[in-house]
Amino acid sequence: MPASPAQRNDPLQYTLPLPFEAEYYPMGFPLRIATNYQPALEAAKVAWSCFPKLFDGAPVRVKTTVGEGSGHGLPREAPALRGQEHLFSIIADRFNFAHADLRAGFGHLAITRTVAADAAYLRYHFLEPLVYVMIAAQHAAFAHAACVARDGRGVILCGASGAGKTCLAYACARSGWTFVSGDAVAVLSGGEDYRIAGRPFEIRFRHTAARLFPELARFPRLLRPNGKTDIEIDPTELNLVCSVESTAHQLVFLEREAHAARASIEPISQTQARSALEEGICFGDSSLRARHGRALDRLSRLPAVRLHYSDTELAERALRSLLAGGA
């Protein structure tokens, strides 16, 4: 059957049919994804099928077009992330790239079948950064932090890479706390409460974490797409209590110190807390950055302390006492 004029005159693939669709809720926020190649949905399913819908609003949308490409495997170089104003891009090569309009909450992902078949690569390099940037632009401000909760009171654990956020969050969870997130929290942009969302359905550790927690030794070490060897676990396999959302009550900035004999806590000012959260404002136009700034301003009004520690068990006890003292 001859192609219609519209089909013949479509060099940019605007009218390419995308018959395979799914809806997921990363961190509770709605996402609608459509593609011309069903296996490309597998990475999204693995990443987000566990999350319930928690928040209303228009879904962010991703259209994924899959082509044959060069047939030479995965891209040789790690993708580059770039942005200007309300535009955001991820570029690996001419066959594998993504771009998004952050104002519109719309993204387009173009990949080869080779990339579509590698769920770990697709998820790490394209899907997660693309979707979470769009969610942040539409709904929330993000902080590079872990979160645990006790008796419904959330504690946000902040710190530089290597400060032990994930390990301390896990130490708390194995002592009866609720695990909310090991590496990122979303701070709701609207309202005056301190409602946050996390990613509780997997925990990623550096492979050395098994020295601290022997029970992790039974989980396989995985070479991640970034070249690092990590341990990834499903918290439910260790009977940890998990929750996607919590209400934050306390900010804790971690200072891990070798051979510290005890865990000590010192208060810090709102100004110090706000300055430490600033790294979360790193994309978008001036209006989006201002909105994220207001969300982090609000978060920094929480009581904030610096925790000096070496041993995670002593640190967990210090956090428990901190919450008890603020009751």
164 and 176 together in one domain = yes
Distance CA 52, CA 223 (A): 29
Q: Domain boundary at 138, 159, 187, which?
A: 138
Per-residue pLDDT band for 107 (boundaries 50, 70, 90) equals very high
For residue 150, the enclosing domain spans 142-325
- How far lies 124's CA from each of 59, 224, 269, in Å? 21, 8, 36
199 and 153 together in one domain = yes
Q: Domain boundary at 123, 138, 153, which?
A: 138
Q: Is residue 3 part of a domain?
A: no
Span 75-85, mean pLDDT?
Answer: 93
Distance CA 254, CA 190 (A): 27
133 and 146 together in one domain = no
52 and 164 together in one domain = no
321 and 184 together in one domain = yes
175 and 319 together in one domain = yes
Q: Is residue 219 part of a domain?
A: yes
Q: What is the pLDDT of residue 139?
A: 92
Judge whether residue 205 has pLDDT over 90: no
Average pLDDT, the chain: 89
Tens-place pLDDT, residues 109-119: 999 999 999 99
147 and 121 together in one domain = no
196 and 210 together in one domain = yes
Distance CA 48, CA 31 (A): 10
Tokens of 132: 């979470």
Give the rounded percent of residues in the chain with a pLDDT score beyond 90: 67
Among 14-18, 108-112, 202-206, name the one with the lowest average pLDDT: 202-206
Judge whether residue 327 has pLDDT over 60: no
Judge whether residue 3 has pLDDT over 80: no
97 and 154 together in one domain = no
Phi, psi dihedrals of residue 134, rounded to the nearest 5°: -70, -40
The CATH number of the domain holding residue 294 is 3.40.50
In the chain, the number of structural domains is: 2
202 and 297 together in one domain = yes
Per-residue pLDDT band for 282 (boundaries 50, 70, 90) equals confident
27 and 68 together in one domain = yes
pTM recorded for the entire structure: 0.90
Judge whether residue 221 has pLDDT over 80: no
* b/e sequence 9-48, b meaning 16+ C-beta within 10 Å: eeeeeeeeebebeeebbbbbbbbebbbbbeebbebbeebb
Q: Is residue 1 part of a domain?
A: no
Among 77-86, 147-156, 189-198, 223-232, name the one with the lowest average pLDDT: 223-232
130 and 148 together in one domain = no
Q: What is the pLDDT of residue 317?
A: 95
Q: Is residue 319 part of a domain?
A: yes
Q: What is the pLDDT of residue 71?
A: 67
Q: Is residue 5 part of a domain?
A: no
Q: Domain boundary at 104, 122, 138, which?
A: 138
Phi, psi dihedrals of residue 131, rounded to the nearest 5°: -70, -45
What Rg, from alpha-carbon coordinates, does the chain have? 21
Tens-place pLDDT, residues 231-276: 888 888 888 999 999 999 999 999 988 877 788 999 999 999 999 9
Q: Is residue 33 part of a domain?
A: yes
